[in-house]
């Protein structure tokens, strides 16, 4: 068991954050594991071929993020706000001190029995190689997460709202005692059961960052790298419904505003798709679909994401809200 004491100042510095980089790491780990995860099955079936076609299953991320165990802490800088963008977090990753990177790679090598030529080049020249790592992460994001981000954010935001309401109604002790089976709180001390290493304020830093993750497994993850606050990453509530099909009925109100063709495309984009896939599903011409998607994109209802030679279109949070309101 690990125990982390909280002063009044530490409690005051507990905050929530949503981290794109934690989702990158957790989702890539799931892909690499080869597991047929029942919760994320639909996502895995769509994304695995894209990631393999781009060669990302054998590149930087594949060496930095093992299927289980330790992954370098420099990949998960402390979120600067409640919901930083991927670009903001990647800027922090690229700005990681060289000694931090080498220390993390030493730790990774210890757990894996050494590191390969690619990571040895990162060890020798961190800042030049980190730029290549960041480029690969951006590519992975566009293929695997950006088309689904509106849906993922809905689950993460709902979790944070629920936890924040717990704090306002019952206090921090209730929050921690309900957070995860491994976590308990008593007498201003946070206890983590079945934890492999000790924790102390001297080694962990002040306060705490609580980060929900849609792709996190059943256990907890931490990042302890003072002077940053310790991070505690847990599985978000409601992620079991993340990929459930949502039947859209009664779209007459949306049709009256957007027209029947654009409403049909929005309903079909419950799963991100290319113009070719939409043409097969709807019977519309590719030219007509492209024209309507351009209009929907200009209005903020869809986003476009490059996937090799194709472009994936996805609904935005604005479109999700309109559809939910009409439903």
| Within a domain: 247 | no
Q: How far apart, in whole angstroms, are the C-alpha atoms of residue 97 and residue 103?
A: 10
Q: What pLDDT is stored for residue 248 in this prediction?
A: 58
| Within a domain: 231 | yes
Mean pLDDT of 136-141: 96
Burial of 43: CB neighbours in 10 Å, binned 0-12, 13-18, 19+ = buried
Q: What pLDDT is stored for residue 121 in this prediction?
A: 96
| Within a domain: 204 | yes
263-299 confidence digits (pLDDT tens): 889 888 888 889 998 998 888 898 999 999 999 999 9
**Quick one: 279 and 219 in the same domain?**
no
**Among 240, 294, 249, CA closest to 270:** 249
213-229 confidence digits (pLDDT tens): 999 988 899 898 888 99
Number of neighbours of residue 6 by Cβ within 10 angstroms: 21
**Quick one: 8 and 109 in the same domain?**
no
**Quick one: 319 and 256 in the same domain?**
yes
Phi then psi for residue 217, to 5 deg, are -75, -170
Q: What pLDDT is stored for residue 250 in this prediction?
A: 60
The b-or-e profile of 311-321 (16+ CB within 10 A means b, else e) is: ebbbbbeebbe
**Quick one: 125 and 190 in the same domain?**
no
Q: What pLDDT is stored for residue 256 in this prediction?
A: 85
Q: How far apart, in whole angstroms, are the C-alpha atoms of residue 266 and residue 320?
A: 9
Looking at the predicted structure, is the pLDDT value of residue 41 above 70? yes
227-267 confidence digits (pLDDT tens): 899 999 999 998 888 887 765 566 788 888 889 899 889 88
| Within a domain: 189 | yes
**Quick one: 10 and 25 in the same domain?**
no
**Quick one: 41 and 56 in the same domain?**
yes
Q: How far apart, in whole angstroms, are the C-alpha atoms of residue 203 and residue 205?
A: 6
* End residue of a domain, out of 96, 129, 147: 147
| Within a domain: 12 | yes
Looking at the 3D structure of the chain, how many domains does it have? Answer: 3
| Within a domain: 203 | yes
**Quick one: 209 and 285 in the same domain?**
no
Place of tokens 């980190």: 130
Mean pLDDT of the chain: 90
Q: How far apart, in whole angstroms, are the C-alpha atoms of residue 188 and residue 170?
A: 15
Q: What pLDDT is stored for residue 236 in this prediction?
A: 95
Q: How far apart, in whole angstroms, are the C-alpha atoms of residue 153 and residue 318?
A: 12
* End residue of a domain, out of 241, 272, 305: 241
Q: How far apart, in whole angstroms, are the C-alpha atoms of residue 53 and residue 46?
A: 12
Task: Pick the more confident residue, 321 or 181.
Answer: 181
**Quick one: 10 and 73 in the same domain?**
no
| Within a domain: 246 | no
**Among 82, 276, 153, CA closest to 268:** 276
| Within a domain: 9 | yes
**Quick one: 137 and 158 in the same domain?**
no
Q: What pLDDT is stored for residue 125 in this prediction?
A: 95
DSSP conformation letters of 177-214: HHH-TTEEEETTEEEETT-SS---HHHH-SSEEEEEES
- Structural domain including 223 reads 2-16+152-241
Beta bridge partners of 273: 313
Phi then psi for residue 6, to 5 deg, are -120, 120
**Quick one: 307 and 192 in the same domain?**
no
**Quick one: 113 and 54 in the same domain?**
yes
**Quick one: 114 and 47 in the same domain?**
yes
Q: What pLDDT is stored for residue 246 in this prediction?
A: 64
DSSP conformation letters of 77-94: PPPSSSS--HHHHHHHHH
83-138 confidence digits (pLDDT tens): 999 999 999 999 999 999 999 999 999 999 999 999 999 999 998 999 999 999 99
Mean pLDDT of 149-173: 91
* End residue of a domain, out of 206, 241, 276: 241
Mean pLDDT of 190-204: 82
Give the range among 1-5, 19-23, 57-61, 321-325 with minimum mean pLDDT.
321-325
**Distance set, CA 146 to CA 139, 151, 222, 299, 301 (Å):** 10, 10, 24, 18, 14
Q: What pLDDT is stored for residue 239 in this prediction?
A: 86
**Distance set, CA 205 to CA 34, 61, 134, 209, 270 (Å):** 36, 28, 27, 11, 42
């Amino acid at each position: 068991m690990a125990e982390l004491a909280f002063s009044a100042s530490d409690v005051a510095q507990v905050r929530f954050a949503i981290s794109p980089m934690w989702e990158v790491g957790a989702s890539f780990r799931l892909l690499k594991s080869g597991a047929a995860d029942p919760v994320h099955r639909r996502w895995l079936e769509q994304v695995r071929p894209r990631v393999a076609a781009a060669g990302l299953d054998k590149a930087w991320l594949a060496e930095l993020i093992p299927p289980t165990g330790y992954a370098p802490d420099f990949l998960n800088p402390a979120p600067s706000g409640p919901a930083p963008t991927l670009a903001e977090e990647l800027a922090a990753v690229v700005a990681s001190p060289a000694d931090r990177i080498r220390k993390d790679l030493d730790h990774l090598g210890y757990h894996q029995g050494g590191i390969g030529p690619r990571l040895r080049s990162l060890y020798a020249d961190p800042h030049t190689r980190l730029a290549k790592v960041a480029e690969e992460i951006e590519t992975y994001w566009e293929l695997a997460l950006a088309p689904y981000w509106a849906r993922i954010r809905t689950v993460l935001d709902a979790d944070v709202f629920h936890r924040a309401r717990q704090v306002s109604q019952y206090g921090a002790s209730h929050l921690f005692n309900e957070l995860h089976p491994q976590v308990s709180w008593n007498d201003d001390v946070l206890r983590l059961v079945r934890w492999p290493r000790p924790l102390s304020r001297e080694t962990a830093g002040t306060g705490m960052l609580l980060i929900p993750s849609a792709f996190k497994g059943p256990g907890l993850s931490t990042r302890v790298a003072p002077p940053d606050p310790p991070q505690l990453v847990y599985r978000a509530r409601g992620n079991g419904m993340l990929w459930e099909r949502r039947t859209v009925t009664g779209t007459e109100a949306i049709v009256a505003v957007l027209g029947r063709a654009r409403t049909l495309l929005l309903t079909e984009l419950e799963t991100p798709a290319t113009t070719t896939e939409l043409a097969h599903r709807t019977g519309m011409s590719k030219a007509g679909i492209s024209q309507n998607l351009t209009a929907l994109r200009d209005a903020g209802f869809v986003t476009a994401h490059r996937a090799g030679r194709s472009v994936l279109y996805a609904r935005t949070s604005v479109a999700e809200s309109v559809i939910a309101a009409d439903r």
